């Protein structure tokens, strides 16, 4: 009796700790099967109560219904459709239930899709009337765990008092001769997080990789802004401020946010000037954190950019007869620069971006031109 009481206490403790260890977001699809709508609704309610008891967080029904609108027939029952619902709802699990009511029992089958691995598993059993809450929760506890259902008998398939398959034999007491007892083998280290990021995009959560480019390496962008000449070349006249426009094509060459770019721009208002340049920037994601075997992040990226190229400006003008002013010849000079780039991705394909500082230094034989400014624009990723 004492041994049985200790076993029950240990099982209760593991059950109490399980929700905290494996709490995840679960998108519950509408229950299917049979012709009894009341039975389906009751099964749906028991699933929701079971998830709450295990510490999981159900995705709101409205978000699930909106995600199912993107499924061709409105019913998600394939791996690709589960993946699509998971991407739209940001759920860690997609859970589908089928119920077939009988006289005193109901046959309940639960199917679960784990978004981080793409694994699909299911369990089924005859659920007794009056024990729906307990038996449904037992099914959920077996199904919604990282290691999956596993092999061998399910807990409710074992005879009462039977030892679970694969359980270690009871330890033998030490002999009178004082034989040494070997220490237990330590468990293997946890697996590293999967290469997948749950990005909380403002236009809807998506699972992507890597965090910055979302798997869309190529980007096109355009920006508008202002610049001011902090240092001017000899002979310069007129306003030191200008309205600038830029365009850029970029390619993310690594999963760590390194992006190469090329483009150009010029003054839309103010002294005549234009430039062509190329460079690189390193876009970091400060909010990137591991969670639930994968990663989560908010799509705000920030990092430094360096660039170099050619700078075009008109030479000093001359005043001709009658007071007419003539623009000087076009001058081409090298330019190097730097900026702090900030990107807010609205989705994996649309982003807002800003370049702050926009330092450009144009050396010349008789002096140098130093420009400072900022731009704001938008881009698309492909």
Q: Which two tokens stand for residue 247?
A: 């365009």
* Per-residue pLDDT tens digits for 282-297: 999 999 998 766 789 9
Q: Which two tokens stand for residue 68?
A: 């199912």
The reported pLDDT for the residue numbered 10 is: 46
Mean pLDDT across the chain, nearest whole number?
A: 82
Where along the chain do the CATH 2.40.160.20 domains lie?
Answer: 197-381
Name which of 114-123, 127-136, 168-177, 242-251 the model is least confident about. Answer: 168-177
| pLDDT, greater one: 114 or 20 | 114
Share of the chain above pLDDT 70, in %: 78
C-alpha span between 90 and 196 (Å, rounded)? 12
Q: Hey, which bits of 84-240 come out as E strands?
A: 93-101, 105-114, 119-128, 197-199, 206-208, 218-231
Instruction: Give yes or no for a cis peptide into 150 (omega within 30° of 0).
Output: no
Where residue 52 falls (left for φ over 0; alpha for ψ -120 to 50; beta otherwise) is: alpha
Query: Does domain 22-147 sit in CATH 3.40.50.2300?
Result: no
| pLDDT, greater one: 226 or 143 | 226
Where residue 93 falls (left for φ over 0; alpha for ψ -120 to 50; beta otherwise) is: beta
* Per-residue pLDDT tens digits for 18-73: 444 446 899 999 988 877 888 888 888 889 888 888 888 889 988 888 888 888 88
The reported pLDDT for the residue numbered 130 is: 82
Determine the CATH number of domain 197-381: 2.40.160.20
- What is the pLDDT confidence band of residue 165, given thresholds at 50, 70 and 90? low
Long-range CB contacts for residues 214-218, cutoff 8 Å, separation at least 24: 214/345, 214/348, 214/349, 214/381, 215/348, 216/348, 216/349, 216/381, 216/382, 217/251, 217/252, 217/253, 217/381, 217/382, 218/249, 218/250, 218/251, 218/381, 218/382
The reported pLDDT for the residue numbered 21 is: 40
Name which of 3-12, 23-32, 35-44, 151-160 the model is least confident about. Answer: 3-12
Where along the chain do the CATH 3.40.50.10070 domains lie?
Answer: 22-147
């Amino acid at each position: 009796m004492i041994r049985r009481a200790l076993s029950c206490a240990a099982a209760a403790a593991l059950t109490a700790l399980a929700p905290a260890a494996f709490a995840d977001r679960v998108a519950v699809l509408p229950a299917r099967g049979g012709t009894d709508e009341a039975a389906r609704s009751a099964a749906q309610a028991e699933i929701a109560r079971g998830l709450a008891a295990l510490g999981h967080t159900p995705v709101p029904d409205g978000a699930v219904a909106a995600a199912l609108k993107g499924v061709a027939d409105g019913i998600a029952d394939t791996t690709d459709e589960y993946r699509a619902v998971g991407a739209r709802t940001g759920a860690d699990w997609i859970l589908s239930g089928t119920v077939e009511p009988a006289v005193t029992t109901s046959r309940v089958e639960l199917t679960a899709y784990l978004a981080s691995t793409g694994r699909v598993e299911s369990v089924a059993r005859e659920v007794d009337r009056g024990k729906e809450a307990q038996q449904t929760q037992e099914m959920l506890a077996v199904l919604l765990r990282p290691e999956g259902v596993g092999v061998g008998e399910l807990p409710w398939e074992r005879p009462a008092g039977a030892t679970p398959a694969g359980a270690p034999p009871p330890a033998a007491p030490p002999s009178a001769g004082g034989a040494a007892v070997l220490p237990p083998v330590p468990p293997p280290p946890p697996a590293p997080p999967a290469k997948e990021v749950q990005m909380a995009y403002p236009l809807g959560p998506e699972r992507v990789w890597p965090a910055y480019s979302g798997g869309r390496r190529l980007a096109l962008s355009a920006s508008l802004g202002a610049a001011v000449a902090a240092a001017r070349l000899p002979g310069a006249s007129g306003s030191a401020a200008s309205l600038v426009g830029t365009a850029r094509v970029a390619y993310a060459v690594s999963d760590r946010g390194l992006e190469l770019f090329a483009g150009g721009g010029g003054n839309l208002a103010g002294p005549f000037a234009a430039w062509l340049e190329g460079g690189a920037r390193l876009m970091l994601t400060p909010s990137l954190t591991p969670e639930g075997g994968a990663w989560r992040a908010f799509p705000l990226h920030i990092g430094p950019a360096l660039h170099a190229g050619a700078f075009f400006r008109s030479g000093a003008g001359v005043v001709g007869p009658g007071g007419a002013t003539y623009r000087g010849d076009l001058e081409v000079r090298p330019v190097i620069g730097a900026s702090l780039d900030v990107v807010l991705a609205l989705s994996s394909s649309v982003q807002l971006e800003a370049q702050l500082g926009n330092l450009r230094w144009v050396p010349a034989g008789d002096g140098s031109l130093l420009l400072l400014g900022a731009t704001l624009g938008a881009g698309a990723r492909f």
